[in-house]
Structure 1
């Protein structure tokens, strides 16, 4: 009797999809910040807490899980935007604690501008994913550059317009995250995301 060596099957990945967590964390925090940018309420602890704990930490966690799932795009996007939120809170809080001088309008324009360039580069990755993500990244790119223009010009109306555009961007991320959850739960398309063929 000849024994044929067999190769054990690779373990199946049973890790849950972290994308809805990352998208909802980004989306909810973006909506709440941009309601402020649109002029409805002042910068407050609610926005800062969301920036640290949901927009920040939850996205970093989602990015780490994406790494386990061998998803380079998800790792890069969620981890980066998680740390974007943490760094933004740092920019606002560190001067209040006396740790550093407040960022000038030129420094904030540079900060927002480099994030706009980064987002534009990631947008090209979404062209292989789905239409919903394409909209999220395209509208986020526009948001960053609107905020840059508002900082450079000091135009409050432009900042308010950017706030409304940011609400749309954040809402699109929430939609995409919830669509992922419901489509998976119901095993059918409940909310379409426009997959790329």
Structure 2
């Protein structure tokens, strides 16, 4: 008796979660780095963005990328979503009396670890597109500049990092909105660069 095995491939009709993750990352990054550039103080606006848009929205986007089988997107969005939540925790836990504020070297180590992680993901973007390459390259530079600013306690370096962060955040916003507009119009309205084979 012959055994016929039939496989069925289900078409993926879910939407692209990357613009949500990139917007959550980009807008929150711009706002925090306007503060780092010395333009306004750190307050509840940045903390709320860090919890809800930079944090939870990116985690949701990461879970959606997992559903689509995108390991890079899952790792990036989920990790940076929790980065924002940990950053808010580092700021608020000491103020709530739940923990001591981190030592200078602890924050330097924190930022360096995120810089190393981001540099590794940047290598992954070399197989993706130009827009993401810029986002991850500038983000890597941002983490190392922030670590250097904390280590040296240099206001000037922190301000430079702030402007790098603003550029990084806006590049992520561009990458997000380009994908949305290109999909809506069914053609390239805003180029993001070729995908590598």
Band of TM-score, shorter chain: over 0.9
Residues 98-150 of structure 1 show CA distances to partners (whole Å, capped at 9, x for unaligned) of: 11100111111000110000000000110110000000000000000000110
Matched residue, 2:133: 134
Matched residue, 1:105: 104
Matched residue, 1:171: 170
Q: Distance in 2 between matches of 1:113 and 1:5?
A: 55
Q: Secondary structure at the match of 1:170?
A: helix
Q: Distance in 2 between matches of 1:152 and 1:124?
A: 26
Q: Distance in 2 between matches of 1:195 and 1:111?
A: 33
Q: Which runs of 5+ in 1 are unaligned?
A: none
Q: Secondary structure at the match of 1:94?
A: helix
Q: Shift of residue 9 of structure 1?
A: 2.9
RMSD over aligned Cα, in angstroms? 1.4
Q: Which runs of 5+ in 2 are unaligned?
A: none
Q: Distance in 2 between matches of 1:171 and 1:36?
A: 15
Residues 162-181 of structure 1 show CA distances to partners (whole Å, capped at 9, x for unaligned) of: 00110000000000000010
Q: Shift of residue 5 of structure 1?
A: 5.5
Matched residue, 1:53: 52
Q: Distance in 2 between matches of 1:130 and 1:67?
A: 20
1:1-40 to 2 correspondence within 5 Å? Answer: 7=6, 9-40=8-39
How many residue pairs were aligned?
195
Q: Shift of residue 158 of structure 1?
A: 0.7
Q: Secondary structure at the match of 1:191?
A: coil
Q: Which has the larger displacement, 6-15 or 61-70?
A: 6-15
1:37-186 to 2 correspondence within 5 Å? Answer: 37-186=36-185
TM-score, normalised via structure 1 length = 0.96
TM-score, normalised via structure 2 length = 0.96
Q: Distance in 1 between matches of 2:47 and 2:184?
A: 32
Q: Distance in 2 between matches of 1:5 and 1:186?
A: 43
